[in-house]
Amino acid sequence: MKLAKGAYSWILTPLIFCISSIFFIIIFPIYDTQFLFISILFFLITLFFIIFFRDPIRKIGNDIVSPADGYIRDIYELDDIDIGKCIVLSIFMNVHNVHVNRMPIDGIIKEVIHLPGSHLPAFKKESERNERLIITIKTSIGMIKIIQIAGTLARRILPYIKKNDVINKGDKIGIIRLGSRVDLYLPYKKNFKFKVKKGDKLKAGESSVAKIYD
């Protein structure tokens, strides 16, 4: 199974503790029960991280695709300072989802801004104050934004991209370690047809969220 970039340190740490515990069982058999419990615990943690950081191959979908795995928690309109009137697709990622985020459409990265903040549950209104990474992208349909938002368990947003990078649809743009939410800002256009609704489940790079008509 392929693992996401930035995953190995998270996986190797509990794995080393697991192996060390087994070693101590051999050296100090009188404490085998205690060390067995510790080794099982760290084995389960290692297994959890392997599953969490999985990075499966995706067949890239048609039109504008989802930047994240998860389900649509909300769809709404707003006026953004960079885009103007836009539609926001807010995607919540559960702990069992793949957490590698992908590019929804071809474009050029114009800005990458990291904002520190809290780590409240990403489905709450107060999560607007959470740590986030704001990616502004120039595309054939105008400026769009992808906002990666940390949640309760998420403590690190790791970008794979930087300013002025030319990125193709479906390319990996980053990962939110242990969380949590991705908002996609698309410019309001009459020739857009949205193919999703609140509650729909999505796969990053694979699920089409909107179609552009000429």
pLDDT tens-digit readout, 71-96 = 999 999 999 988 999 999 999 988 88
**Contact present, 168 and 107 (Cβ < 8 Å):** no
User: Which strands, in side-by-side order, build the sheet including 166-167?
Assistant: 166-167, 107-115, 132-139, 142-149, 181-187, 84-92, 70-80, 201-202
Report pLDDT for 210.
Answer: 92
pLDDT tens over the chain, length 214 residues: 688 887 888 889 889 988 988 888 888 776 677 778 888 999 999 998 888 888 999 999 999 999 999 999 999 999 998 899 999 999 998 888 898 999 999 999 999 998 876 555 544 444 566 788 999 999 999 999 999 987 665 557 889 999 999 999 999 999 887 767 899 999 987 778 889 999 999 999 999 999 887 6
pLDDT at 192: 81
Q: What is the predicted pLDDT for the residue at 122? A: 47
pLDDT of res. 126: 44
CA distances from residue 136 to 2, 33, 150 in whole angstroms, order as listed: 28, 54, 18
- Residue 202, amino acid: L
> Using CB atoms within 10 A of its CB, is residue 121 exposed (0-12), middle (13-18) or buried (19+)?
middle
Q: What separation in angstroms does the CA of 110 have from each of 18, 85, 135, 141, 162?
A: 44, 19, 8, 15, 9
| Count of CB atoms situated within 10 Å of the CB of 131 | 23
For 3, what's the count of Cα atoms within 13 Å in the CB-facing half-sphere? 17
CA dihedral (117, 133, 153, 43) positive or negative = negative
Asked if 45 and 185 touch (Cβ cutoff 8 Å), the reply is no
pTM (2 decimals)? 0.84
Mention every residue, 6+ apart, whose C-beta is less than 8 A from residue 3.
11, 50, 53, 54, 55
**What was the pLDDT predicted at 155?**
57
User: Tens digits of per-residue pLDDT, 110-147?
Assistant: 999 988 765 555 444 445 667 889 999 999 999 999 99
Burial level of 197, CB count in 10 A (0-12/13-18/19+)? exposed
Catalytic residues, by residue number, are 180
Q: What are phi and psi of 129, to 5 degrees?
A: -95, 5
Q: What pLDDT is attached to residue 28?
A: 75
d(CA 91, CA 77): 15
Per DSSP, what are the bridge partners of residue 112? 135
